[in-house]
């Protein structure tokens, strides 16, 4: 009897921890979407690609987009910046640049005219004193979260929900992953920041190799003639053949040399 009481007492202690969380989630899922039409973007220094101020009639809102996360536009949160940079495979300075690109994209898109907001007034927290709420933003029959991912300005991340048009949350996550794969293949937005052209543009034509790299002959049969060590600097020229660029450098032994390098080695 004592053992039974102990087990029941221990089990009862779990109820305040487990069931309120489940109940809160279920209650949130039952809440209906509220549609706000004719919403306008409000210019504000704290706006960025996925969080911005908006107005409708005399009401003001601070909105946070569901499903996605655009990069930071400053260095206040270094850990988050590094996480975002790792996601896109770029450097921290590049991800900050990408965050500014996302901000400009959202500003240009929402600045064209009124847009529609769907919200359940779910708290999105944030650093602002004004309450921030999660929302689905529709622009010209497209969801903003989709457009940000499709154009390479956001990572798939954060909070989701079943959509106002009855598309399930699970299906929408899958839709976003498909759009992200397309953006990667097409090198759109931040995904394109490490193309050879952009690397060379930033480096002024000179690149420091990130790893040991094979060098190929400039004449057929274009075989490997040697390897350059990590950290060696090369001057990169035009495309010599598909996937390869002409490079000039001084060998570790002090000899000037011209050969070919694979473009993937420049990324």
- Where are the chain's structural domains? 34-192, 196-266
Q: Please state, in angstroms and rounded to a whole number, the distance separating the CA atoms of residues 252 and 231.
A: 11
> What's the mean pLDDT in 182-196?
88
Return the pLDDT at 199. Answer: 62
pTM: 0.68
Residue 48 predicted with pLDDT over 90: yes
Return the pLDDT at 202. Answer: 58
Same fold, 34-192 and 196-266: no
The hierarchical CATH code for the domain 196-266 is 2.30.30.40
3-state SS record for the chain: CHHHHHHHHHHHHHHHHHHHHHHHHHHHHHCCCEEEEEEEECCCCCCCCCEEEEEECCEEEEEEECCEECCCCCCCCHHHHHHHHHHHCCCHHHHHHHHHHHHHHHHHHHCCCCEEEEECCCECCCCCCCCEEEEEEEECCEEHHHHHHHCCCCEECCCCCCCCCCCCHHHHHHHHHHHHHHHHHCCCHHHHCCCHHHHHHHHCCEEECCCCEEEECCCCCCCEEEEECCCCEEEEEEEEECCEEEEEEECCCCCEEEEEEEHHHHC
Return the pLDDT at 33. Answer: 98
Residue 9 predicted with pLDDT over 90: no
* Structural class in CATH, domain 34-192: mainly beta
Return the pLDDT at 135. Answer: 98
Confidence of residue 18 (pLDDT cuts 50, 70, 90): very low
Residue 13 predicted with pLDDT over 80: no
Return the pLDDT at 161. Answer: 98
CA atoms within 13 A on the CB side of 213: 26
Q: Please state, in angstroms and rounded to a whole number, the distance separating the CA atoms of residues 86 and 95.
A: 9
> Average pLDDT over the chain, rounded to whole?
87
Confidence of residue 15 (pLDDT cuts 50, 70, 90): very low
């Amino acid at each position: 009897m004592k053992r039974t009481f102990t087990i029941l007492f221990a089990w009862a202690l779990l109820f305040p921890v487990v069931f309120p969380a489940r109940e809160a989630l279920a209650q949130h899922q039952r809440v209906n979407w509220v549609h706000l039409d004719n919403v306008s973007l409000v210019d504000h220094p704290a706006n960025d690609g996925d969080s911005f101020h908006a107005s409708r009639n005399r009401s003001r809102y601070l909105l946070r987009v569901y499903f996605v996360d655009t990069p930071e536009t400053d260095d206040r949160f270094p850990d988050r910046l590094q996480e975002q940079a790792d996601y896109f495979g770029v450097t921290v300075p590049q991800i900050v640049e990408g965050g500014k690109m996302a901000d400009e994209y959202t500003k240009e898109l929402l600045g064209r005219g009124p847009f529609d907001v769907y919200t359940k007034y779910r708290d999105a927290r944030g650093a602002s004193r004004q309450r921030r709420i999660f929302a689905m933003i529709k622009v010209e029959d497209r969801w903003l979260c989709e457009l940000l991912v499709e154009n390479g300005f956001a990572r798939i991340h954060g909070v989701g929900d079943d959509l106002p048009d009855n598309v399930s949350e699970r299906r929408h996550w899958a839709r976003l992953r498909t759009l992200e794969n397309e953006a990667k293949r097409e090198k759109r937005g931040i995904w394109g920041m490490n193309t050879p052209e952009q690397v060379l543009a930033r480096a002024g034509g000179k690149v420091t190799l990130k790893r040991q790299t094979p060098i190929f002959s400039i004449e057929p049969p274009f075989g490997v003639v040697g390897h350059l060590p990590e950290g060696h600097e090369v001057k990169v020229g035009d495309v010599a053949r598909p996937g390869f660029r002409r490079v000039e450098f001084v060998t570790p032994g002090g000899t000037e040399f011209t050969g070919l390098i694979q473009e993937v080695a420049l990324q």
